[in-house]
Structure 1
Amino acid sequence: MTNQHEKLKKEINKLHQSYRILKSTGDDKRFLDLSRGYKSDRNRIHKEILHKYSDLFAVIQGIRKLSVLGVQNVDLLVYKNEDDFQNCIKRYNAINSLMIKYIDIFDEIICLIENGFPDGAMQRWRTLLEYSIIIIFILEQGEEVADEYSKNLLMSIVSELHHRKNFAWAKVANCFKGEKQITITKLLDNLNGIDIDTKKGFLAMYKLTSQSIHGSSFGVNLSFNDHISIDIN
């Protein structure tokens, strides 16, 4: 499986490099052709990940790289691996449902971009970033946090989906002892494997995307269509 995984990583990196070269040279026609051809590559790699790479952390790494290719924004990397699966069973259970949704949202983003709806794609990117932050936070913080995250489903129902309960599970982490309220930005700030500049970049885009969904004058007049001019239908 290791050799197959390395082969897949090389293919993904090669495709990623092609995108970057074409974007930097401004060759819109070739970039358009590559964007159209990417759909078949995406489906093939997607299938290989689902059927050949059952290891949880290899799957997370593979899908993370596909997300970079698809939306050119998500660049969160999980460095930590596990030697004994029994030591991370609660994290596996917590992340399992997240990864299923992660794959679905990635496909939605590609579909929206391919059909000319960058505003919708960026809203799904916002969700993808939240999932990425939560996944990495759970992996870094350990089994107690993962267990609390899984229990949060019942707490959310009992509290009638009160927004203050969304990240209450993270309070058991050592970095949040004594905190009254946790937000997604606080989770991002406390990720160990992400440098400060990268965090600032993600936070700026996250805030911009969050503002665009509201009915304020700013939100109504902001459109990511103004920044994405290539029609890849």
Structure 2
Amino acid sequence: MADKFGQFFKDTLKEILVEHVKELKNQSEIDKFYEKYEKADFSGLYLEMINDTSNQMVRDAKMIMHENTLLFRGEETEIIARIEQKWSNAFATSETMYMMVLESVKDYSDYVNKIDNKEREKSIHKYTALKYIHGRGLQQFLEIITLMKNGFADGAYSRWRSLYELNIIASFISEYGEEVAEAYISSHNTEDRYEWARACGEFSPKKRYISFDDIRKKSNFPSELWQQPYRISNEVTHASSQGTFNRLGLMDGEEKISVGHTDYGLTIPGEHSAITIAQLTGLLLMVYPSGDSIIAAKMLNKWIDVVREQYFKTHDYIFPDEPKLWNNEKNLSLR
């Protein structure tokens, strides 16, 4: 594509040149003018015209921005509606899970508020820490759903990364108990991200810094099973070459640069977010276990199967040429 402004600048100078030459009286004046013209520096004029033109473009854009935005929103609404139409059953399972978790935690909170004070005090710091971590995680789960419904698979998986990390922290606190939970709560007004974890007594005093990976290795969480998904989520989140060229929202081999909504790649964040929020909720519900909280945790774990089935089947239906994700015999045997 030609440089439109560059051509415009050249044409403008040429017009000025032609008009000026017409006013000259003889060939000698014309030759002198051409000589000066060839040596002239037009860089200042060029920059001035760039500035004037860009200012005019801003003024023009402001005049029509509302009309253009309405057109953009109309097109965007159509795209999102098509994604919703295709993935409706899958999205419904995620949204239902969000409501299930919210209702279960509300009931559980009421239960905890009514138990004996002495009993509650035994694990009050762990309960408080996990309650706040869970609240943050549940909001992130809703963010993931919202991003998926808008066709942003990469963004959804980036948010899953944070949800997964909260799960690791919650597992660590759940395992090491009150002293660690109290240290975690107390550190929220400091600049130390993970120094609170020293309260577990598992780290050498000679160790200068505590990292998230240190906590992961000490937590009672099967993080080894999640190494590949976590690596991919890191690539998606950070400015890596892998995350730039291997987009979740694009099929393998597609020579495209995704800059907007896509209907591909939603299965991974859909399934993984369901598993992670169920795990995180289970940790909270087991601080003061009851029959109701155990049932709620079991229900959420079983709902993962419903989520997986709908996302896998929807993917297989929309993308028939892609490898099948749902195998009735194989998937049902996992239940």
For Structure 1 versus Structure 2, the TM-score category normalised by the shorter chain is 0.5 to 0.7
What's the Cα RMSD here?
2.7
Match of 1:150 in 2: 185
45, 48, 59: which one aligns with 2:103: 48
Match of 2:5 in 1: none
State the distance in 1 between where 2:188 and 2:111 align. 22
Match of 1:115 in 2: 150
On the 8 A contact 2:180/2:199 being kept in 1, the answer is yes
Match of 2:243 in 1: 219
Provide the TM-score with structure 2 as the length reference. 0.44
Match of 1:105 in 2: 140
Provide the TM-score with structure 1 as the length reference. 0.61
- In the alignment of these two chains, the number of paired residues is 164
State the distance in 1 between where 2:131 and 2:102 align. 17
Matching of residue 169 in structure 1 with residue 189 in structure 2 = no
Matching of residue 186 in structure 1 with residue 210 in structure 2 = no
Question: For 1:147-183, what per-residue CA distance to the aligned partner results, in whole angstroms no more than 9, with x for missing partners?
Answer: 1111212222xxxxxxxx2111101212223232222
On the 8 A contact 2:98/2:138 being kept in 1, the answer is no
Q: Which runs of 5+ in 2 are unaligned?
A: 1-85, 113-117, 252-264, 267-314, 319-335
Match of 1:85 in 2: 120
On the 8 A contact 1:167/1:182 being kept in 2, the answer is yes
Match of 2:326 in 1: none
Question: For 1:177-220, what per-residue CA distance to the aligned partner results, in whole angstroms no more than 9, with x for missing partners?
Answer: 3232222222121123x3xxx42232332222112223343332
On the 8 A contact 1:148/1:169 being kept in 2, the answer is yes
Letter aligned with residue 208 of structure 1: I
Larger gyration radius, structure 1 or structure 2: 2
On the 8 A contact 2:98/2:142 being kept in 1, the answer is no
Letter aligned with residue 183 of structure 1: S
Question: For 1:31-74, what per-residue CA distance to the aligned partner results, in whole angstroms no more than 9, with x for missing partners?
Answer: 945314425633542453244332789xxxxxxxxxxxxxxxxx
Letter aligned with residue 203 of structure 2: F
Moved over 6 A (4+): none
Q: Which runs of 5+ in 1 are unaligned?
A: 1-30, 58-82, 157-164
Question: For 1:48-104, what per-residue CA distance to the aligned partner results, in whole angstroms no more than 9, with x for missing partners?
Answer: 3244332789xxxxxxxxxxxxxxxxxxxxxxxxx9322111112222221211110
